[in-house]
Amino acid sequence: MKKEKFTAIILARGGSKGIKLKNLKRINGKPLIYWTIRDCMRSKQINSVWVSTENKKILEYSKKCGAKIINRPKKYAKDTSTSDLTWLHAIKFLETKKNTSIINVVGLQPTSPLRDKNDLDKACHLFLKKYDSLFSALPIFDHFIWKEKNNKLFANYNFKKRPRRQNIRKKYLENGSFYIFKKNKFILKKNRLFGKIGFYPMSKINSFQIDDNDDIQIIEGLKKYF
């Protein structure tokens, strides 16, 4: 059985509430999923790249890009299907059907096509130093936020003594670009984050995700510029 230090598993189902066949929508002349497959293929740390999908068009295109294919059962391709259960299915398929011994998983979704070319390798290096699981993150400031209750506004900070931005403690938002986790512990926990959890910081631009058609136009402009 072949052992792999890092195995990339990209989740790319055909169904989508927001955008029909979102993973094949063209961004700068290439289907959305192309950019994530490309990022994985040029990584020096990732040993193999797999796409889990129930859609024939995505399957065929992913093969053309050089990725290997996992035929995803329809029960893992519903709107209610979780990524964690789908990664579990993929791992079991690879180890039982493809004779692959997985050590660590790089779990990705194609909706974040603006990763830097070195993000995955740097994150893998960081992960190996001290973590059981890791997520890509956008550093944020969550101050200056207001909410409405009973027709009244309430701030999450003291607006009478406004803090300087430099003095506000940073927080970290999971940006959904990728996760890295140890396979054995993931199978036990059935959750992508466990044990000693770390994060890999990314810029606001590289963290951008596609959820609707407006996002596609924004991403088009960002990719052309950068």
Q: Which residues pair with 180 in a beta bridge?
A: 106, 134
47 by Cβ neighbours in 10 Å (0-12 / 13-18 / 19+) ranks as: middle
- Cβ partners under 8 Å of residue 187, min gap 6: 88, 91
Angle (CA) 9-134-206 rounded to 5° is 75
How many CA atoms are closer than 13 Å to the CA of 47, on its beta-carbon side?
12
Query: Is 162 one of the catalytic residues?
Result: yes
Q: State how far the Cα of 202 lies from the Cα of 115, in Å rounded to an integer.
A: 8
- Would you say 126 and 135 are in contact if contact means Cβ atoms under 8 Å apart? no
Point out the catalytic residue in the list 13, 26, 162, 192. Answer: 162
- Would you say 94 and 70 are in contact if contact means Cβ atoms under 8 Å apart? yes
Taking every pair of C-alpha atoms in the chain, what is the biggest distance, in angstroms?
Answer: 64
Active site (catalytic) residues: 162
